[in-house]
Structure 1
Amino acid sequence: MATSETSENKAKQTCNELEIQEDFTTDIHPLYSRMSRFTVREELRSRPNRLAAIILGLLNVVFILVITGLSVHIDRVSETHNTLTLNSSRISSQLAHLQSEHSSLTESRKTLQNKLDEDTKKITSLQQNLNTMTKLKNDLSSQNQNLQQEKRKLQSQISNLEDNCGRCLPNWVLMNNTCYYFAVSDAVLRKSWAAGRQECKKNGADLLVINTKEEQEFIVDTLKTLRYNLRFHYTNGFWMGLKDDHTEGTWKWLNGTNMTAGYWMPGEPNDDNAAEDCAAVYPAAHPLRAWNDAPCSYPLKWICEKEVDITPHNPQ
């Protein structure tokens, strides 16, 4: 009995000591004084679970952040998509409007092109008509000129017949008291100065001698009428009875008189190659600038003159 009591007392004393040791208010290390050996062992067993919980928490935070970022990004993408959809709709509307305008412009272009083609055909037709009318006008103008020339020729012949009254030979022209012959016919061949004079002498006449300004104008005007205003060419001249072959530069008429008034072309007489000693008259535009000197052997036409016998004819 005594032994049992002693053992119980010792056990109680030991428990009291443990209780005293667990009192954290009197220990300088309260965290460790509160923990029993059983608590320490439990804590050691729960550490991996806490670490896993921390990691899971961090992963949850990261996942939440990722989800939040994706949501923001998706919102932005959705907003951009909506904007693009709206812009696409507007662009589609504008494209449809442009296509409609393009179709309208294409139709207008076709209409205008057709109108242009029609106008071009009309202009071409009018141009052809104009060309035809212009040709017709030119033909009529040419015919009119020919008729006018024929008229002048006929009038000259009528005047010649009326004025001559038999005083001049046929195809001769009367002026005052002188009959003139102009060798203008194409059937008459050109001859030298001497041969032309010989033709005049066959009809009792001689080469032309010009005494007055009025006579010079009459000769040139008649040449223009008979020769139909031929353009100037050195082969279109007519021999006159004027030479300087005896003394160079001193021109004399066939009647022996010196030339006092000359109606030379500009730059004439020039005695080209020292061989131009005979004078010729031309149907020049200016009647007082119508003479030219030429070689006497050169073939040209000629003009004859013959005084009219004014003695009254008394029939027997």
Structure 2
Amino acid sequence: MMSNDDNSNEKSTPTETGNNGSTSAVRVGSRNLPLYPLVVVCLGLLNTILFISAIVIGVYCGKVREVSTPDHNTHHLIFEIKTINEMHTEITKSQVEAKQALEKQLRHHHQIQLQIAQNQSLGDQLQTQIEGLLLEKATLQARISDIQGSCERCLPGWQLINSTCYFHSISETAIPKNWQDSRADCIHRGGNLTVIDNLEEQVSPASNQDTSKK
């Protein structure tokens, strides 16, 4: 049998190294195990742990990227929506300004049309007055010509109308003369009693009579 001291001495001996460069060993219990395989196993375990850690970190980074990508897309969409809203606001503002300018131009155009209509109406009135004045001028010139002609061709008090001298007798009494008395008066004045069929010749002596009554 071996004493406990011997067992403890055997366990306390970690390695045995030969002078000729033999491989070191670790004594575990009653067995000697080489040191190199243990190192390889430890390195393999460490490599496995690092590989698993790398996989875990890669998965985590992928999840973080997947989470951050929607956030980036969301910010991009929000920016685009904001830009579109600003463009829509500018377009709406431009439309309102264009509508106001168009309404202003339409009001100005309507005022111009009213002014043109008023000027046209005033022009028509002036044209009518001018035509009336021209007609009155022509009538006066004709009467002046008749008067000037009658001064040479007709006796005093007689009126020249269409190359014919007329005398309109005014009765001194309220009772008008009959045909015989009127004819006798005309013969006495050097003329002859006649029936006037022309409207112009009827109006001229009547107007002369109205003038003489004033």
Q: Do Structure 1 and Structure 2 share a fold, with TM-score over 0.5?
A: no
| TM-score relative to the length of structure 1 | 0.30
TM-score, scaled to structure 2: 0.40
Relative contact order (alpha carbons < 8 A, sep ≥ 6): 1 or 2 greater? 1
